[in-house]
Structure formats: structure tokens, C-alpha cells
Structure 1
Amino acid sequence: MAPTVVAFVLSWWLVARSRAQHPRQPFLSLHPSNGVALGGNVTLRCHLPQPALWVLLCRDEVEILYQYSTGEQNTTEFFFGDVQREHAEKYQCQYKDKETMKLSALSDPVELVVTDASFPPPGTMLSPRGGVETGTNVTIQCWAAHGATFLLHKDGCSPPSQRQDPQEQDMATFTLPGVTPADAGTYRCSYIPYGYPFLSSPLGDKVTLEVTPASGAPRGAEGGPWRTLVVAVGGGCAATAALVFSLGLFFLLIARRRRRSESCGREGVKWLGDPPPPNVSPVFLGSPVPPRGPWPQEDSEHLTYADLRPPPPAPRGCSPPPSPPLSTPRWALGEPTDTPPPPQRPPLQ
């Protein structure tokens, strides 16, 4: 518990110290963001990261406006109505922290570009004209009556797509290399005259770029990211299927080899075809087929099962006493002996 409390107090102290030394930087935005025409309206909005006492609006780093803040709102707005040329400038904002009474750093600058209809619109030309195939290099040329910085705009995109300074010349060439269907659309040009960095001419004539599939290419060949994803998924599925097939074939061969090894009776004996039923004897390679009929079976030591069969059990009951071994007396063989021969009985009359 104690380490947690110490860590919390230390973090709070560090945050408080950081806020006391350097209040966080604000953020300034323009509404509308794509510029305003002479006589129009524009709003500059300063976004505050923490409660502020008051907010300053600076033009070219010089304070021109300020507003008090209640400390509860997150933004402060500066409204310009009936915009004139003198409003075309670079703007920043900053604030005074409500707790420390210190000023924050200036926000990043934003440029208020005012469109002046007194400048003639530029000329625009697309080359090649009409529809072009995918992968074709397309150029858009813009020109004006005097040197300027040229801007290329695409309908539907707020900021200019390209900007070019032709070194005080009166023409600029924008290149779109290897166009795709995403490049199709309507393009216009404008320019900023030299000596008026925040004034712009009106948009020039529009040119339309149409992109068609390359001749000979199959329908949907230029599928873009979706086609790339489909190809990647298909390749992955094919590789997986090949791997599964290879593993299945490998295990099938192992199982077949194991079954063959188990079906062999002994070395040198091979079954012809599938394993025979139990009552069929094996066929020896290189030897004649034995005649049919029962015969003793031998094991690996050439012993028949008849020899290995145990003797029949003795009949139940009392067994007769063992008879003495028969032997021929020695006197009958004419050999000397200490035992006299038995007396001979007289012959019967």
C-alpha cells in the first residue's frame, strides 16, 4: 500500500511541476479550412488543453485580439466577418494558465488564404485528353499571366493535391505517373501571385481524367488491393492443401509398410497379395507348393507342435505300485556269484 501511495504522490508532483513550468501548447484551426473569398466569413478556433484565464490571438507573432475564458470551455473562437486583404496572414494563439498565471507556448501557425477575384483564373490543359488506359503517364499544365506558385486541386479533396513553384515562370506542369482508377476525377488549378503570399486566384477551368482498363487485360485485372488480397489468400490455401496432401501420403506409406512387416511370418517368407486367412499356410518363395492336408507345423527351431505338446494327464484314482525293474540274474548268465542258485524242482511225474 505504501509504495502505491508514494508513486501516486510522486506522479502528481511531477505533473504539477511540469504544468507549472510549461503549460501545454494549444491548437489553432480555420473554419472553413480551404480558404475564404474576399467579403466572406471565417472563424479561427483555439483549442485549449487545460483551463485558461484568457486567450490571445496573434498575427505574425504579434498580439491582436484576446478573450477572457471561464475556465470551463475547451475552445475559444475568433470570428472575422467581411474578410479583406489585410486579413490574409499567418495566425497563432496562446493562453494564460488559470492556476499558475503563466503563458503557454504559441500554437503551430495556420495560413488564412483569401481568394481575390481580381486575379484572372489560370488556364488548364490535360494531356493526353479523353480516356487513358491504366498505367499511362498523364500531365496537367497550368499557366497564368505572370509568375506565381501554382496549386493543383482535385474535386472532393480539401487541400491541394500538388504544389509547384516554377521559379517565377508563368507555367507549371503536374505529372501523374502510371495512373490508376483512383486517379480519375476532375482537376482545377489556382495560383498565388508573387508578392502576395496569402492571396489566391480563383480556380481555373476544370479538366476531367478518365481511366479505363488496359487493352487485352482481363476484366478486373486491375483489382488493386482487393485483387492482391484475393491472390494472397488463394496462394495460401493452395500451399496448405499441398502440405496436407503430402502429410497424408507420407502417413499412408508408413502405415502400409508397417502392415506389410507385421504380415510376414519370418525372414524369407512373403505373402503374395493381401494377407491370407489364418487357415491357409504361407507360400515359400523358391520352393514348391506343399500338398494339402494336415501336417505338423514347425517353429523357428524346427520343433513340431506335437513335440511341444504337453503329455496327457494321468487318470484319476490310486495308481498301482511301481513294478520293480526286470533284470537277468548273474548265475543264469554263468557268472560267478555268492548267492546259490535256487533249488530245482523235480519234474512232475
Structure 2
Amino acid sequence: EVVARNSTEVYKGKPVDARQVASALHVGFVLEGSIQRQNGRVRVTAQLIDAQTGNHLWSDRWDRPAEDVFAVQTEIAEQVTNRLGGGVGLIQAAGRAAAKRKRPENLNAYDYYLLGTEKIEKITIADEEEAIALLNRAVELDPGLARAWVELYHAHGILAGFGINPESEIKAAADVAERAVRLDPSDAEAHAVFGMSLSQKGDNARAKAELDTALRLAPGSSEILTFYTGFAARFNEPERGAQMVDQVMRLDPNYPMWTSNFFAPAYFMAGRYEDALKMLERMTPNNYDKWKWVVLSSSLAALGRMDEANASVRETLKQYPDLTVESMINEV
């Protein structure tokens, strides 16, 4: 949670200890910064402080022309939000580190949720299976923790992509996605995963409506944009999907490896084959599900790199001997 702005107004312009502020407001982290204007330019600084230790977790500085201060304000707010918040942000990373320091018997539902999400991002069969075990423990302890149900969607969906019991895993993914959005209709990512599950059932009209809702709830979220990129082509918007990838990279230059799972197909569907291959290079073959193998083989072929393409096809069929062009087309 983020405290209301008027809660912090009392500290404006005063020298304060971040740990005292955090204690008074009952928050775990404090974001502080400053704005300076000089000679037609504006300089903004920001830093994130761990309230428990007083340690600085992150800092950054922006120097921009001052003539369009509102655009500068929006740009910096989006960058700070994406760097700190969501599933890829510094605050969640700090929470994971704290959970790892706890004894197993002291872990709570949120700790299990944090540890499960970390496993999901590794995108291997073993890690996804471990993620499901951790997240199931989270919802056993707190069935109302919507974010844990959201993350269970990702883990079940990734396993299905690897060909592990695809029918049952897709059904499990759909069930947990629907539960997540029922539990918290204000959660943008819950709408996103529900939309993704609808698309996987072939209901692309409702899927697009849910993903559009997610974007309205969190228009500057790199995570929500990332999820949309993987499905834009199904909505006959391949170019928009690729443009969203470009947007995410501007919002969060430190975009993690798992985003390539969405970005490589998005670039491929827009005909940006070199960019698709660059995204796949951020992954290892252990991270490739059948779609990533298809994107690799097809992108190489589209670029005229036929020897490499043929080798990739042979490896793909070794991993997924029943895969056909027709079956892949039917999934789009």
C-alpha cells in the first residue's frame, strides 16, 4: 500500500529521519527526493530507503528541459513506479530477500507468495512446479490473497506451454485467474490474467476487454503492457504489440529475462525477426517452450539463415515430436 499524499505534507521542507517518518506512518519504505530548476532545466532526484535499516536501496537523477514540466512529471512518475513497484520492482525484491532470511516455520502467506513469484520468473519446468507448491501454501494460509491466485495462473500457464499435462494445466490456469479477478476486481493484473485465460479459450473479444480494463487500471505499468504484448496479435494488433514492447523498454530499461517470453513472439508476429532473435538470446533453451522454438526457427528462416533454421527445427521436433504448423496456427 502507498500512504496518501496528505499524510506526508507535514514533513515538507523539514529535515527528518526516514525511519521516524516510516514509524509514524506505519510504512516499510520511504521514497524521498527533490526538484531544482535552473536556466530552463529541471533536475529531479529520488531515493528509496528501507525503513527498517535506514539503508538506501536505490537512487536516480533526471535532468530535463523545463518547458514541458507536466510531460517530465509523467515520465519520471512512470519510471519510478515501474522501478519500485509491481512484481519486478525493488520493493518486492527486498521482500523476497527478507523472506529468505526467515526460518521456514515463520513464513506467512505473503512470504510464500514472494518466494513463489521468484521461482516463476526462472521459466523452467522444475521452477514452475516449485512455484505452484509455494503459491498453494500461500493460498492455504490466506485464501483471499488475490495476488497469489494471479501468480498461480502464470505458473500453470507456463507449464502448459512446456507441454506438461497441457489440458489440466490450462484448466487450472483458467480457474485461478477467474478466482483472482473475483477476489479483487480492482487489481489490474487479475484482469490481465483473466483476459489471457479467455484468449486461450478462444474468446478473444472478452479477452481484449479484460486486458483493456487492466490497461485502464494501470496505464503506465510495464507488467500490464508486457502481458498485453503477448496477446496483441490475437486481437489483430501485431504492430501495437511490438510498439508496446518498445514502450516497456523505455519505462523499465532493466526489464527482466522473463519478459522475453512475451516480447520474442510479439516482435515475431510484427515481422521484426532480428528483434525477436535478440529477445530469445536473453533466454536459454531451458526457458523455451514450444512457441519459443517455433519463433526461433521461423525467425531464422525469415532472415535467410537456413542452416540454423533447419537445425532449430530438428531440435524443436526432438523436444515436441507431435508439433505441426497447423497445430501452432490454431493456437494463435
TM-score range normalised by the length of the shorter chain: under 0.3
Query: TM-score, normalised to structure 1's length?
Result: 0.20
* Structure with the higher fraction of residues in strand conformation: 1
Q: Which has the larger radius of gyration?
A: 1
